[in-house]
Structure 1
Amino acid sequence: MKFFITLFVCFSVSCVMAQEQVSYFFESNKFVLQKEELSKLNKWLTVNKEIKVIGVYGFCDEEGSVGYNDTLARKRIDYVFGIIKNRVKIREDFKTINFGEQHTSSAIKAENRKVTLYFIQPKDFVNEEKIIAKKKEVVVEKIRPKVKFSDVYVFENPDGSTLNIKIDTVFMKKVSLANVGEKLKLESMNFFVDTFAIMPQSRSVMFELLTVMKSCPDLKIQIQGHICCVQKDIRDLSTQRAKAIYKFLEFNGIDKSRMTFIGFGSSKPLFPLPEKTEEEREANRRVEIEIVAN
């Protein structure tokens, strides 16, 4: 299956001294500036009415997945651009660019949670084209090997016996085609109450994941556990449940370098706690995999 990786349009600077920049900083996991930073931005706009903005870059710290940070950086860009767009000149072919966590970062996390404006002064407008060397968008095509999945697989047990498992090829195709940063829920992944023991009816889900991992040798994942109902995961069940799936894959031949596991407790609920219905509790009580590499 063909897919495309787009490298964002960027601006290289021929005359570094002619381009200036200013940054505004965000709280962790927020894309709206706090009062003090917003005040700084508004004051800067008041003083610099005649400048021209040529780029808005968004950054995040390393906390969270690459996909999550990429989305957060985009939201920060959109927020700041919404404030400046009618108050200063902006280059017509201006492009918003975000770097997520993929940039040279500071050891101080707070310094990485920012949006940076790049701009030029009125005196340099006449030399604008010399200052900015626009690089065209580059599209790199990568070929993923086509994977054909069967409805029934035969697995060999350690004692030499075989096990026929009917599995869901739809899920496996989704995993094989998912992009880096994408998360997929392991549907019907159930555990015995207050334990990390997997219920027998969930075995097919485990074998579906095992099959796609064997069929896609470049695939790397993070297994993420979540619980419902309580604010604190005192027994660390979310981690233990994610680990149980990790150990199953390892036992069946998947190299440890291709997978990690983590438990989030109830810190990332899909529905606010306390849940109102069993459907909400079931949605929060889940195991997901995040694509790390493919």
Structure 2
Amino acid sequence: MKQYLLISFIFIFSSINAQQQYTVYFDFDIDETNSPSTNKLSQWIAENHNVEILKIEGYADSIGNALYNVDLSERRAEYVLEELKENNYIIAKGVEIKAFGEDKAFSKNRAQDRKAIIYYVKPSPPIIPETDFSKAVNTAKKGDKLKLPNMNFYNNSDIMLPESAPILNDLLAILQKNKKLKIDIQGHICCQIKEENEISLRRARAVYNFLIKKGIDAVRLSYKSFGSTKPLHPLPEKNETEKVANRRVEIEILEN
């Protein structure tokens, strides 16, 4: 019984400890954030796009009618929720909205009571499986080039085949864990000396766009293409194996 209570206490304490909060402020009798908080909220959203929202609480100062202040504080909380939604924020289902009105207006500076508090938790760091590719990236040095294995596209297209998903997710998880890692994504083609339709550039850009959409900062990524100027096997290739080897997307380690 004692062991059960201890485990329960540790679980509850960990859950509370993991919960964080962010506060925004409003001008008197206004249900939209004031200018400083609007700017700070936008910055907070950009830096915390993966957090899970638990609840939003609205508050008001003690001036005016108590019922009106409850309504005002609810509108403030709803405003913050809408701002998060409009910025494509990841919103947890069933976010709780609570309006306290002037019930907790204890500050000497009434401006401190005109607020909304966002309660949230940050996601756990991604668990990266120990694939051969992740091991290679972790041991690579600046300037090393690594082929993205099984990174394949439809013929003469920058549309990825479904079999490319595992390596893309592997690369994404590596970048999410190693915040210092910067890479250059490089596209190559096979079989033809003169490239048509910038296919190698489009394929490198497709990988780049995937990572950007998943939240990787653009300052950590770049991309370029080499066409058939840097083949692993001389052109014309002797067989299909050599063609596949030349037709590739690589990453070059810029910083780790």
> What's the TM-score once normalised by structure 2's chain length?
0.50
Higher radius of gyration, 1 or 2: 2
Where is the helix percentage greater, Structure 1 or Structure 2? 2
> What's the TM-score once normalised by structure 1's chain length?
0.43
